[in-house]
Amino acid sequence: MLERRNVVSALLGTRGEMAVVTGLGSATYDVAAVGDHPRNFYLWGAMGGAASLALGLAMAQPETPVVAITGDGEMLMAIGTFCTIALQAPPNLSIVVLDNGLYGETGSQKSHTGVSDLAGIAKASGIAMIETVTTSSELDEIAASISLTAGGPRVYVVKVSQEPKPRVLPLREGAHAKARFREAFGLTAD
């Protein structure tokens, strides 16, 4: 199993102008641990919302690579989003699911990914570019892929260890986070 912070670091190491939407909990802590960025949008208290928010952003900003980094528990909460992503098919969208097989934010109960296949569900939903990642040698190729504005949408289910990491808390004030994110795209803060 891969170590989740190493995965996120490898994926965002040369991010350029990429916009990153994080899922609830550990995905947010992992992205913040790699380094805060004005084009990071940390999703607080909206479990299941990362992929759909990233979809809307990808549609609104077609010249920008957009990636949602989320956990298996959150993706399971919004599994139908795969169908909407397939229907809209934004070529600049990537979904990275950090799959540790646990609902980490609610007490580390086993998630359903022990008996279901998120990549298979994404494929059955109509998304063509899907990969299950189990080795670090695959990460360079994925990092290059998620920085593209063509060829998507893409879904990467990355199998990571269950080892908990210390929380790195990024910006939590909603109005400020929204204003900073909008300004990073050259938009007015309000």
pLDDT at residue 108 is higher than 90: no
> Residues of the chain with pLDDT > 70: what percent?
92
CA distance 83 to 21: 19
Q: What is the pLDDT of residue 30?
A: 93
Q: What is the DSSP letter of 2?
A: B
Domain boundaries, the chain: 4-184
Q: Tell which CATH architecture fits domain 4-184.
A: 3-Layer(aba) Sandwich (3.40)
91 cis-preceded (ω within 30 degrees of 0)? no
Longest dimension (CA), the chain: 46
Instruction: Tell me the per-residue pLDDT of 46-62, one tens digit each, with 9 for 90 and over.
Output: 777 899 999 999 999 99
State both tokens at 177: 């986070």
CA atoms within 13 A on the CB side of 66: 26
Nearest to 150 by CA among 81, 65, 67, 73: 65
Least confident of 91-100, 129-138, 181-190: 181-190
User: Does the pTM exceed 0.85?
Assistant: yes
Q: What is the pLDDT of residue 109?
A: 55
Q: What is the pLDDT of residue 173?
A: 76
DSSP string, 52-71: HHHHHHHHH-TTS-EEEEEE
pLDDT at residue 157 is higher than 80: yes
CA distance 58 to 154: 12
pLDDT at residue 154 is higher than 70: yes
CA atoms within 13 A on the CB side of 8: 27
Q: What is the pLDDT of residue 160?
A: 86
CA distance 103 to 37: 26
